[in-house]
């Protein structure tokens, strides 16, 4: 069925619309939300099998010939991202049951989560640059609703800044699309990839490429544009934070990956070197923040910024190892960030605070929680059998093969800082003198802990079984490195 | 014509940036309004301002006379999106004023347990 690639977008949209009808019925909200997320995940699995067997899937809406209609394209990279974002949304929905609070659940919380999922899956699947803008707005609109959901004072204060930054970056996105349209006369990504190499004035195209880097850099929180992220992400409750930390910045990273491998390849010497330098600065900026704070949420939030830098450094190298490494690391990072936010969320609930100095001795009362946190922390830092290792290894290898070998050295050195920053949480919260914890019902603890431990197990499996996933990763890398596969799939009819 | 429009758009962007750097929240929101006006006009101008006939099929009009319909559709989409975001932002600002008791961005800094 050729419309299969639209299902991960349509299913959450329909479920979200249905959920709007009866906001007060808690049981129905929970069940329908989890069914919606699960069926999106299943649709993603079918799509993965289809793309694996038949190659890149493309459909042009309304059956108009390719550059004129809106193309939706599913190559291996976008399927993998759709699949992991659907999986994370599923876990976030289950984790929300006991953590988000009944009042929030009854005010359109689950519809907003599913609308966010629609926007994210659409942004990963679209093949049209203006349609990408629209899907980004869909997910941003849902994220505005979620970040202020509940209306506590810090949330109100931080969401003003979040909104303002995103309005500015959206206006810049429109301006960048306008420039690109006036130079090329098309908006379809595959058509752009055909037209841009034919244009001789590469100067203006380089300017537009840097404008797109600024636009997507705001979304992805790269070095000089990450200032909004730590404050904004600290405000909302943990399930929403996990959803944001795992998905939202990754849309920006994906958009940079797509544009910089598919069509902004006319002046690699300038644009990709700029990207590499910015990526390294992003890593360093994230490291400073990750070490500076004694707040569990802040530490993991700064680790988002570090991971964005690592992934973009891999992309900037434009060789097989670098690209494959960044795809692997991107998926690993989505999963592990969600898992870590879940874990520190439980820790914060148990102590009733996010301040590390007021914690201690949790390993005596909650040993399984402690050891799964340690596994997730080692996974984040990239200790060999776990999931952070293969991606980082390939990125470092790509850096040594490319011109920016010093970048690889920075990545290796900062891995130690990443490890230090997350192990510090382990040392302060789990070791030492036991501090009195907030009494918690066994059932609600298990409601939080079950999705968390399953997600940690998935990341372990993703690392240990890396051989199993490598064919998919290299399939995704192949399309990114040979844009002709993508172009042929879209423009063939 | 395009030159004049470009200068106008530049002025709009300038005013928007100036307003968004001010302290009062309502001035910032007015700035975002000007910024989206600038972006929409830019989209129109960059599509080319040639062609007098509106993009509606009619007798006796050759293809060269039509205005480019695509930027108009894009602008229409962008307008409703920025309209929705602006209305959300206005309500948020109202709510924040009620809860926090200020519209001065200087007083909206930091967190409770500021380290």
Give tens-digit pLDDT for A421-455: 999 999 999 988 888 888 888 888 999 999 999 99
- Please tell me which residue of chain B has the smallest CA distance to A162: B89
Interchain contact, A178 vs B47, CB within 8 Å: yes
Do A157 and B100 make contact, defined as CB atoms within 8 angstroms? yes
Count how many residues are written for chain B: 115
Predicted pLDDT of residue A206? 95
Nearest to A439 by CA among A350, A375, A338, A309: A350
To the nearest whole angstrom, how far is the Cα of A476 from the nearest Cα of chain B? 31
In chain B, residues with a C-beta closer than 8 Å to the C-beta of A134 are 77, 81
pLDDT at residue A374 greater than cutoff 50: yes
Q: Indicate the pLDDT class of residue A313, thresholds 50, 70 and 90.
A: very high
The ipTM (two decimal places) reads 0.94
pLDDT at A6 over 90: yes
Distance from C-alpha of A463 to C-alpha of A389, rounded to nearest angstrom: 7
Residue A439: how many other CB atoms lie within 10 Å: 6
**Chain A residues with CB inside 8 Å of B100's CB?**
153, 156-157
**pLDDT, average across residues B19-33:** 95
Residues of chain B positioned with their CB less than 8 A from the CB of A159: 92
Fill in the DSSP letter of residue B104: B
Other Cβ atoms closer than 10 A to A11? 25
CB < 8 Å from A in window 24-43 of B: 25, 28, 32, 35-36, 38-40, 42-43
Q: Is B37 helix (H, G, I), strand (E, B) or coil?
A: helix
Determine the average pLDDT of the residues in A192-215.
Answer: 93
**Secondary structure (3-state) at A73:** strand
Mean pLDDT of the A386-412 span: 93
The pLDDT, as a whole number, for residue A2 is: 80
The count of C-alpha atoms lying within 13 angstroms of the C-alpha of A213, restricted to the half-sphere facing its C-beta, is: 26
Residue with tokens 């809406």: A61
Contacts of A305 (CB under 8 A, 6+ apart): A221, A226, A229, A282, A285, A286, A289
pLDDT of residue A314: 94
For chain B, the domain total comes to 1
Interface test with chain A among B22, B85, B94, B101, by most A beta carbons within 10 Å: B85
* From A160, A171, A293, residue closest to B93, measured CB to CB: A160
User: DSSP letter string over A349-385?
Assistant: HHHT--BGGG---HHHH-HHHHHHHHHHHHHHHT-TT
Structural domain harbouring A438: 2-491
What share of chain A in percent tops pLDDT 90? 85
B-chain CB neighbours of A163 within 8 Å are 85, 88-89, 92
On whether residue B57 sits in a domain, the answer given is: no
pLDDT, position B17: 96
Contact (CB<8Å) B36/A179: no
Average pLDDT for chain A: 93
Cβ contacts (< 8 Å) between B40 and chain A: which residues? 174
CB pairs under 8 A between A and B: 100
| B115 has a pLDDT exceeding 50 | no
Whole-number Å distance between alpha carbons of B58 and B68 = 15
Nearest residue of chain B to residue A142 (CA atoms): B85
| Per-residue pLDDT tens over the stretch A344-369 | 999 999 998 989 999 888 998 999 99
What is the count of structural domains for chain A?
1
The answer to whether residue B70 sits within a structural domain is: yes
* DSSP-derived 3-state class of residue A492: coil
Residues composing chain A: 493
A16-39 pLDDT per residue, tens:
999 999 999 999 999 999 999 999
A51-58 — which CB contacts under 8 Å span 24+ positions?
A: A51/A75, A51/A76, A51/A79, A52/A76, A52/A472, A52/A475, A55/A485, A55/A489, A56/A479, A56/A485, A56/A486, A56/A489, A56/A490, A57/A2, A57/A4, A57/A5, A57/A489, A58/A127, A58/A489, A58/A490, A58/A492
Point out the residue among B32, B46, B99 whose CB comes nearest to the CB of A182: B46
In-domain check, residue B59? no
On the question of pLDDT at B65 being above 60, the answer is yes
A interface mutation test: which of B96, B100, B105, B106 has the most A CBs within 10 A? B96
Q: Inspect the interface and report whether the beta carbons of A164 and B42 lie closer than 8 Å.
A: no
User: What is the reported pLDDT for B60?
Assistant: 81
- Whether residues A160 and B40 touch (CB distance < 8 A) is answered with no
Dihedral, CA atoms, A236, A239, A241, A245, nearest 10 degrees? Answer: -170
pLDDT digits 0-9 by tens, A279-298? 999 999 999 999 999 999 99
pLDDT on residue B112: 53
B47 vs A167: CB contact, 8 Å cut-off? no
pTM of the model: 0.95
Distance CA A237, CA A342 (A): 11
Q: Which of A144-148, A361-365, A478-482 has the lowest mean pLDDT?
A: A361-365
Q: Look up the domain containing B96 and give its range.
A: 2-50+65-107
- Which domain CATH number covers B43? 1.10.287.3510
Give the span between the Cα atoms of A55 and A53, in whole angstroms: 6
CB pair distance less than 8 Å for B96 and A156: yes
CB within 8 Å: B115 and A134: no
Distance (Å, whole) CA A242 – CA A392? 22
Token readout for A304 is: 């988002």
Q: Compute the distance between CA of residue B28 and CA of residue B25 in angstroms, rounded to an integer.
A: 5
As a whole number of angstroms, the distance between CA A141 and CA A136 comes to 8
Report how far residue A62's alpha carbon sits from residue A191's, in angstroms, rounded to the nearest whole number: 18
Mutation for testing the A interface, residue in B89, B98, B103, B107 having most A CBs under 10 Å: B89
Contact B115 A294 (CB under 8 A): yes
- Chain A partners of B95 at a C-beta cutoff of 8 Å? 151, 156
Are the CB atoms for A173 and A215 separated by under 8 Å?
A: yes
Instruction: Give the residue from A132, A174, A351 with the most B CB atoms within 10 Å of its CB, the best one to mutate.
Output: A174
The total of other beta-carbon atoms located within 10 Å of residue A2's CB is: 9
| pLDDT of A237 over the 60 cut | yes
For chain B positions 46-85, those within 8 Å of chain A (CB to CB) are 46-48, 70-71, 74, 77-78, 81-82, 84-85
pLDDT at A440: 85
Q: Is the pLDDT of residue B26 over 50?
A: yes
pLDDT, mean of residues B58-63 = 83
> What is the rounded CA–CA span in Å between residue B9 and residue B34?
10
Backbone CA torsion sign across A182, A188, A189, A191: negative
């Amino acid at each position: 069925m050729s419309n299969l690639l639209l299902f991960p977008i349509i299913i959450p949209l329909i479920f979200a619309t249905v959920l709007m009808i009866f906001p007060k019925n808690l049981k129905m909200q929970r069940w329908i939300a989890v069914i919606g997320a699960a069926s999106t995940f299943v649709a993603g699995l079918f799509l993965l099998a289809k793309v694996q067997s038949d190659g890149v899937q493309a459909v042009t809406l309304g059956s108009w010939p390719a550059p004129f209609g809106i193309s939706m394209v599913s190559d291996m990279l976008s399927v993998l991202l759709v699949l992991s974002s659907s999986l994370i949304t599923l876990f976030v929905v289950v984790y929300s049951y006991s953590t988000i609070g009944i009042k929030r659940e009854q005010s359109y919380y689950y519809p907003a989560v599913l609308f966010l999922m629609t926007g994210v899956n659409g942004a990963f699947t679209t093949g049209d640059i203006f349609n990408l803008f629209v899907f980004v707005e869909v997910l941003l609109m849902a994220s505005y609703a979620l970040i202020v959901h509940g209306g506590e004072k810090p949330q109100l204060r931080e969401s003003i800044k979040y909104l303002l930054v995103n309005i500015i970056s959206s206006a810049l996105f429109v301006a960048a699309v306008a420039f690109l349209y006036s130079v090329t006369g098309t908006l379809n990504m595959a058509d752009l990839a055909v037209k841009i190499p034919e244009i001789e004035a590469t100067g203006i195209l380089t300017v537009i490429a840097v404008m797109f880097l600024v636009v997507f850099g705001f979304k992805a929180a790269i070095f000089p544009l990450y200032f909004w992220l730590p404050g904004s992400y600290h405000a909302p409750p943990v399930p929403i934070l996990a959803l944001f930390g795992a998905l939202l910045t990754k849309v920006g990273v994906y958009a940079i990956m797509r544009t910089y491998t598919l069509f902004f390849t006319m002046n690699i010497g300038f644009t990709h070197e700029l990207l590499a330098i910015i990526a390294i600065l992003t890593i360093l900026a994230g490291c400073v923040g990750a070490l500076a704070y004694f707040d569990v949420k802040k530490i993991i939030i700064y680790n988002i910024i570090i991971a964005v830098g690592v992934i973009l450094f891999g992309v900037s190298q434009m060789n097989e190892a670098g690209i494959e490494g960044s795809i692997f690391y991107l998926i690993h990072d989505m999963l592990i960030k969600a898992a870590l936010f879940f874990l520190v969320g439980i820790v914060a609930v148990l102590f009733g605070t996010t301040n590390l100095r007021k914690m201690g001795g949790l390993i005596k009362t909650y040993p399984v929680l402690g050891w799964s946190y340690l596994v997730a922390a080692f996974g984040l830092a990239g200790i060999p059998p776990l999931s952070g290792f293969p991606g980082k290894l390939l990125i470092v290898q790509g850096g040594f093969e490319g011109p920016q070998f010093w970048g690889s050295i920075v990545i290796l050195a900062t891995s130690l800082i990443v490890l230090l920053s997350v192990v510090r949480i382990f040392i302060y919260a789990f070791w030492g003198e036991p501090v009195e914890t907030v009494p918690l019902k066994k059932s609600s603890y298990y409601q939080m802990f079950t999705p968390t431990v399953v997600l940690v197990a998935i990341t372990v499996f993703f690392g240990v079984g890396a051989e199993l996933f490598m064919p998919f990763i290299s399939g995704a890398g192949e399309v990114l490195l040979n844009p002709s596969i993508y172009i042929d799939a879209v423009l063939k009819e | 014509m395009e030159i004049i429009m470009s200068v106008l758009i530049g002025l709009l962007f300038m005013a928007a940036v100036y307003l968004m750097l001010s302290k009062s929240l309502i001035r910032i929101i007015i700035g975002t309004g000007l910024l989206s006006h600038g972006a929409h006009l830019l989209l129109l101008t960059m599509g080319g301002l040639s062609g007098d006939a509106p993009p509606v099929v009619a007798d006796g009009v050759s293809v060269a006379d039509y205005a480019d319909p695509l930027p108009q559709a894009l602008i229409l989409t962008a307008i409703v999106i920025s309209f929705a975001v602006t209305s959300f932002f206005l309500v948020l600002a109202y709510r924040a004023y009620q809860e926090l008791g200020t519209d001065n961005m200087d007083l909206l800094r930091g967190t409770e347990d500021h380290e």
